[in-house]
Chain A
Amino acid sequence: MAKQHISFSLNGEQIDALVEPRELLVHTLRETLNLTGTHIGCETSHCGVCTVDLNGVSVKSCTVLAMQAHEGEVTTVEGLANGELHAVQQAFIEEHGLQCGFCTPGMLMRAQRLLQENPDPSEEEIRWGMAGNLCRCTGYQNIIKAVQSAAKKLQQEA
């Protein structure tokens, strides 16, 4: 099938792209638009390393067609820092919330969204709110600490 023209906002910038109708958003981001911070771990919606924001909700970009982003708003890990690191980015460094870094972009994207949905989550709420993102390296404990510390910082700033 012929390629289709889509346009959407990506990290605050208006983007035009030609995509195959069957093309997955994660491939458009990584291959066509060269934003390789969003990773691929399973392509079956289980691992969450492909998590991005689409129209204000967390989605797994391996299970979204690029065409579904048409006229929408997408934020990836590359759009998180705004001059300086976002509170979740800083907190992951401070609390040793990452090791190999492969899950990290997805974790950060989910964490910043979770903190918008629930600015002051309990440990339990973090565990359930981030359960769609897997990590093989950290045992999660320091990620939870990082999310808690980012929450505190964001609340102080608010």
Chain B
Amino acid sequence: MATAEDRVKADIEREDALQGIGCSRKRKEDPRFVQGKGTYVDDVKLPGTLYADLVRSPFAHARIKGINKEKALALPGVHAVLTAEDLKPLNLHWMPTLAGDVQAVLADEKVHMQYQEVAVVIADDRYIAADAVDLVEVEYEALPVLVDPHKALDPDAPILREDAEDKDNVGQGPRKHPNHIFNWQVGDAEATERAFDEAEVTVKQEMYYPRVHPSPLETCGCVASFDKVNGKLDVYITSQAPHVVRTVVSMLSGVPESKVRIVSPDIGGGFGNKVGIYPGYVTAIVASIVIGRPVKWIEDRMEHLSTTAWARDYWMTGELAADKDGRIKGLKVDVLADHGAFNSHAQPTKWPAGFLSICTGSYDIPVAHVNVDGVYTNKSPGGVAYRCSFRVTEAVYVIERMMDVLAQKLGIDKAEIRRRNFVKPEQFPYETCLGWELDSGDYHTALDKVLAAVDYEGLRKEQAEKRAKGELMGIGLVTFTEVVGAGPSKNCDILGVGMFDSAEIRVHPTGSAIARMGTITQGQGHQTTYAQIIASELGIPSEEIQIEEGDTDTAPYGLGTYGSRSTPVGGAATAVAARKIRDKARKIAAHLMEVSEDDVEWDIDRFKVKGVPGQEKTMKEVAWAAYNNVPEGMEMGLEAVDYYDPPNFTYPFGTYLCVVDIDKYTGVVDIRRFYALDDCGTRINPMIIEGQVHGGLNEGFAVAMGQEMPYDEEGNLLGNTFMDYFIPTFVETPHWETDYTVTPSPHHPLGAKGVAESPHVGSIPCFTAAIVDALAHLDVTHVDMPHNAYRVWQTLHELGADKRD
């Protein structure tokens, strides 16, 4: 007879065989990628494809006096050259942005930024198209350029958007100047003022969060194919949100949504850059409709960096009021946001500055006020999130920087000041003064674990010794809380569509399953992890579960993948849909075993009759019965759909610590150690989580240490190639140490919170904090990014710290 121990062992084996939640299962996607068999947009080949290439403006602000297409049209192999004049009759020369503004598809009489799309050339191949672009002659009359957002609202500032000059609202509330886009305020201004008036200490710090670009290795592109006979439009596109694209394309083109099929095939990274709809896509679609042949448009790297969605560009001022012990009494954040030539940022409709109001962070702050003004400049339009949920990166940056500024002012240790202000475990769910309900957290444990792991005391001692010797060593510490999983439809929508997400699961008669989701992977490994969720919920081995996403003809409608929303929203939908199936399966199992449903219990991969060993039906047996022997009155089949509207966001958190040594003569920063502890609630695939954390840290490192998109006075973008724009290589990238705690989300069906953006959001202020900490004894409270050697050296030089004695 089997002993109890044997039975436990058998249960564990049965569970392990499923490769469900918690298993570091190898990725399902990988075999095709390592053999060069992925299908990215540029790999899509349709017979008779033509190629689109764009004529772009060399000027940042100019009037178009004339366009001469003749020479281009005369080139053999050129099929068409289209300008705004050609799109006007179709009313497609402008398009709506996700933010309620409009953006020119092709420049309509004026250009508002360098590299703006002016005309599109359609030709037999990409070489001919490129030749023809050179042959299109455009005459410009240069206009005064507005580059500095601080001057945008001056009475004598050049007016950029003449098309919107008379509008008192460009989609996000009243505005006060033709270059003004919106003003957004949250919190109690008066009470906050009072807190500051009464405070024992106040601190204030200005900081600039530079304009940066996500720059995935695959640029943006599409293949549009309009079938004139059937009136059907297929578009293969690099999109993180194919269903939203379908809705927009249908609205723009007039093709019924049922005849538009959007396919996001394999995507070579997105990081927020592939959420929006770009003029290149629209011109390819229009050209295909007009010419009746497939049209491919793939941008090059320079076009990608110059015109597609970037992030940040926030001029922020943070202020804290506190008592002498460092307990915070109030917070103020004031922002000037440079949105470029068109307001094409991608935030949920009611959030013109995204989730910036999460800026109270991990701290119990009684009162706060946030004020944001958005303005137009002659720069590329944006901004989106770069591996972050809607400005949460900026929010975490400002509060974490301010915590350090306050600590330095009061002479309190930077870990200690955080500990004093943390929301305590027993306070959850915790309502912040700016209206967020933090679902769960245990900040003290995370902090203590990291401090112990790195020997914080020892590091501080070492730092003191080094300072005595004139050497520069810095310890950066960040204890962030962020918000992901957008979002409850009561306060989040995109173009009026609620930000739910969806899953549809079908269990086949022989017990394998296929599932389709409204999200779309760009490297996150959805084909692997969604299957693990279903495996645990339904007792079907992961290997027998097929996951499909990205084809709007087959997948249920969803809002897509960005802002770490796949696990919190799509993952929840998957779990709920699976549970609907399990509920039905339970009824079938009871029917098969001729017992009441109440007597049946679920056990890993089967239903058992309580207290009757051996009386059981596996999910496989139930699946078969679902197609031939169901209880009377029940419909056949075993499938379910769920559109999951989350009751709340999720709030992952973490503690990061970075140790740097700075060479005071050269400004070279050596990142000696980076320790990242993340708490993303329930962990579905630890291997994938760790990979996501590595990647996010590396992108954070890129932003903090080198990325920026500077413009000169004429509005020329300096740094739009990989020569100038910093992408860390193997050589600069530090070694990452990762760790975790698990504090499940109470409202998510699996307790999972989402993780991919946390390491980006959390690491950036940590790098800055380390640099500043190295200079704190020289009374430095803040240094702006990027911390490349030249800029760090400049700071050292100004301080006189680079003097040789």
CB of B215 within 8 Å of the partner chain: yes
Digitize B715-736: 1 where CB-to-A-CB distance is under 8 Å, 0 elsewhere: 0000001110001011101011
Tell me the interface secondary structure of chain A in the complex.
Answer: loop
Complex CA distance for A145 and B91, rounded to whole angstroms:
54
User: In this complex, what residue of B is CB-closest to A86?
Assistant: B34
Digitize B600-616: 1 where CB-to-A-CB distance is under 8 Å, 0 elsewhere: 00000000000000000
- Residue from A22, A76, A134 in contact with B722 in the complex, judged by beta carbons closer than 8 Å: A134
- Residue from B300, B691, B736 in contact with A43 in the complex, judged by beta carbons closer than 8 Å: B300
CB under 8 Å from chain A, chain B span 641-659 = none
Contact between B722 and A89, CB atoms less than 8 A apart: no
Q: Which of B24-32, B166-174, B623-631 interfaces with chain A?
A: B24-32
Complex CA distance for A23 and B523, rounded to whole angstroms:
31
Contact between B691 and A136, CB atoms less than 8 A apart: no
Contact between A101 and B42, CB atoms less than 8 A apart: no
Digitize A29-72: 1 where CB-to-B-CB distance is under 8 Å, 0 elsewhere: 01100111111111110110100000000000000000000000
CB of B35 within 8 Å of the partner chain: yes
CB under 8 Å from chain A, chain B span 719-761 = 721-723, 727, 729-731, 733, 735-736
Contact between B731 and A127, CB atoms less than 8 A apart: yes
CB of B488 within 8 Å of the partner chain: no
CB of B552 within 8 Å of the partner chain: no
Contacts of A41 in B (CB 8 A): 217-219, 268, 301
Known: A43-B301, A49-B217. A139 touches B34 (CB 8 A): no
Known: A41-B219, A93-B27, A139-B695. A100 touches B523 (CB 8 A): yes
Digitize A110-144: 1 where CB-to-B-CB distance is under 8 Å, 0 elsewhere: 00000000000000001110111111111111111
CB of B524 within 8 Å of the partner chain: yes
Complex CA distance for A128 and B525, rounded to whole angstroms:
28
Complex CA distance for A96 and B686, rounded to whole angstroms:
11
Contacts of A85 in B (CB 8 A): 31, 34-35
CB of A20 within 8 Å of the partner chain: yes
Contacts of B219 in A (CB 8 A): 41
Complex CA distance for A99 and B269, rounded to whole angstroms:
8
CB under 8 Å from chain A, chain B span 677-718 = 687-688, 690-699
Known: A99-B524, A99-B525, A100-B522. A138 touches B695 (CB 8 A): yes
Contact between A96 and B688, CB atoms less than 8 A apart: yes
Contact between B691 and A100, CB atoms less than 8 A apart: no
Contacts of B697 in A (CB 8 A): 139
CB of B436 within 8 Å of the partner chain: no
Q: What is the distance, in angstroms, from A157's C-beta to the closest C-beta of chain B? A: 18
User: In this complex, what residue of B is CB-closest to A43?
Assistant: B300
Digitize A86-107: 1 where CB-to-B-CB distance is under 8 Å, 0 elsewhere: 0001001110101111111100
Known: A100-B218, A101-B268, A136-B699. A37 touches B27 (CB 8 A): no
Known: A44-B301, A93-B26, A101-B523. A140 touches B733 (CB 8 A): yes
Known: A20-B127, A101-B38. A96 touches B523 (CB 8 A): no
- Residue from B26, B36, B694, B721 in contact with A35 in the complex, judged by beta carbons closer than 8 Å: B36
Q: What is the distance, in angstroms, from B256's C-beta to the closest C-beta of chain A? A: 32
Q: What is the distance, in angstroms, from A12's C-beta to the closest C-beta of chain B? A: 15
Contact between A92 and B34, CB atoms less than 8 A apart: yes
Q: What is the distance, in angstroms, from A1's C-beta to the closest C-beta of chain B? A: 12
Contacts of A93 in B (CB 8 A): 26-27, 30-31, 34
CB of B33 within 8 Å of the partner chain: yes
- Residue from B27, B271, B300, B693 in contact with A136 in the complex, judged by beta carbons closer than 8 Å: B271
Contact between A42 and B722, CB atoms less than 8 A apart: yes
Contact between A102 and B217, CB atoms less than 8 A apart: yes
Contacts of A47 in B (CB 8 A): 217, 301, 722, 727
Complex CA distance for A143 and B735, rounded to whole angstroms:
12
Q: What is the distance, in angstroms, from B179's C-beta to the closest C-beta of chain A? A: 34
Q: What is the distance, in angstroms, from A155's C-beta to the closest C-beta of chain B? A: 21
Q: What is the distance, in angstroms, from A80's C-beta to the closest C-beta of chain B? A: 8
Contacts of A42 in B (CB 8 A): 300-301, 721-722
- Residue from A35, A80, A142 in contact with B691 in the complex, judged by beta carbons closer than 8 Å: A142
Contact between B691 and A99, CB atoms less than 8 A apart: yes
Contacts of A133 in B (CB 8 A): 729-730
Contact between A136 and B727, CB atoms less than 8 A apart: yes
Complex CA distance for A92 and B43, rounded to whole angstroms:
22
User: In this complex, what residue of A is CB-closest to B699?
Assistant: A136
Contact between A92 and B40, CB atoms less than 8 A apart: no
Contact between B31 and A46, CB atoms less than 8 A apart: no
User: In this complex, what residue of A is CB-closest to B687?
Assistant: A96
CB of B45 within 8 Å of the partner chain: yes
CB of B96 within 8 Å of the partner chain: no
Digitize B299-343: 1 where CB-to-A-CB distance is under 8 Å, 0 elsewhere: 011000000000000000000000000000000000000000000
CB of A77 within 8 Å of the partner chain: yes
CB of A81 within 8 Å of the partner chain: yes
Number of interface residues of A (CB under 8 A): 58
User: In this complex, what residue of A is CB-closest to B305?
Assistant: A42
CB of A16 within 8 Å of the partner chain: no
Contact between B730 and A128, CB atoms less than 8 A apart: yes
Complex CA distance for A118 and B731, rounded to whole angstroms:
18
Chain B CB within 10 Å, residue with most, of A20, A22, A40, A76: A40
Complex CA distance for A134 and B42, rounded to whole angstroms:
19
CB of A151 within 8 Å of the partner chain: no
Contacts of A99 in B (CB 8 A): 269, 523-525, 691-692, 695
Contacts of B691 in A (CB 8 A): 96, 99, 137-139, 142
CB of B292 within 8 Å of the partner chain: no
CB of B50 within 8 Å of the partner chain: no
Complex CA distance for A76 and B35, rounded to whole angstroms:
10
CB of B7 within 8 Å of the partner chain: no
Complex CA distance for A126 and B215, rounded to whole angstroms:
24
Contact between B269 and A98, CB atoms less than 8 A apart: no
Contacts of A23 in B (CB 8 A): 127
User: In this complex, what residue of B is CB-closest to A99?
Assistant: B523
- Residue from B34, B40, B126 in contact with A89 in the complex, judged by beta carbons closer than 8 Å: B34
CB of B266 within 8 Å of the partner chain: yes
User: In this complex, what residue of B is CB-closest to A77?
Assistant: B36
Contact between A128 and B699, CB atoms less than 8 A apart: no
Complex CA distance for A50 and B690, rounded to whole angstroms:
27
Digitize B253-267: 1 where CB-to-A-CB distance is under 8 Å, 0 elsewhere: 000000000000011
CB of B216 within 8 Å of the partner chain: yes
User: In this complex, what residue of B is CB-closest to A103?
Assistant: B217
Contact between A142 and B269, CB atoms less than 8 A apart: no
Complex CA distance for A56 and B42, rounded to whole angstroms:
28
- Residue from A100, A102, A134, A142 in contact with B729 in the complex, judged by beta carbons closer than 8 Å: A134
User: In this complex, what residue of A is CB-closest to B721?
Assistant: A44
Contact between A108 and B34, CB atoms less than 8 A apart: yes
Q: What is the distance, in angstroms, from B28's C-beta to the closest C-beta of chain A? A: 10
CB of B37 within 8 Å of the partner chain: yes
Complex CA distance for A89 and B37, rounded to whole angstroms:
13
Known: A39-B218, A47-B722. A94 touches B26 (CB 8 A): yes
Contact between A136 and B216, CB atoms less than 8 A apart: yes
- Residue from B30, B690, B731 in contact with A98 in the complex, judged by beta carbons closer than 8 Å: B30
User: In this complex, what residue of B is CB-closest to A49?
Assistant: B217
User: In this complex, what residue of B is CB-closest to A91?
Assistant: B34
Q: What is the distance, in angstroms, from B526's C-beta to the closest C-beta of chain A? A: 11
Contact between B216 and A102, CB atoms less than 8 A apart: yes
Contacts of B736 in A (CB 8 A): 139, 141
- Residue from B38, B126, B216, B730 in contact with A131 in the complex, judged by beta carbons closer than 8 Å: B730
Q: What is the distance, in angstroms, from B50's C-beta to the closest C-beta of chain A? A: 13
> A residues within 8 Å of B by Cβ?
20, 22-23, 27, 30-31, 34-44, 46-47, 49, 76-78, 80-81, 85, 89, 92-94, 96, 98-105, 108, 126-128, 130-144
14 contacts between A and B (CB under 8 A): A92-B34, A96-B27, A96-B688, A99-B691, A101-B38, A101-B523, A102-B269, A105-B36, A127-B730, A128-B731, A136-B727, A137-B695, A139-B693, A139-B694
10 A-B pairs besides A47-B301, A96-B26, A96-B27 with CB distance below 8 A are A20-B127, A46-B722, A89-B35, A93-B27, A98-B30, A99-B692, A99-B695, A100-B266, A100-B267, A141-B733
Closest 6 CB pairs of A and B: A37-B36, A102-B268, A100-B523, A101-B33, A139-B694, A99-B523
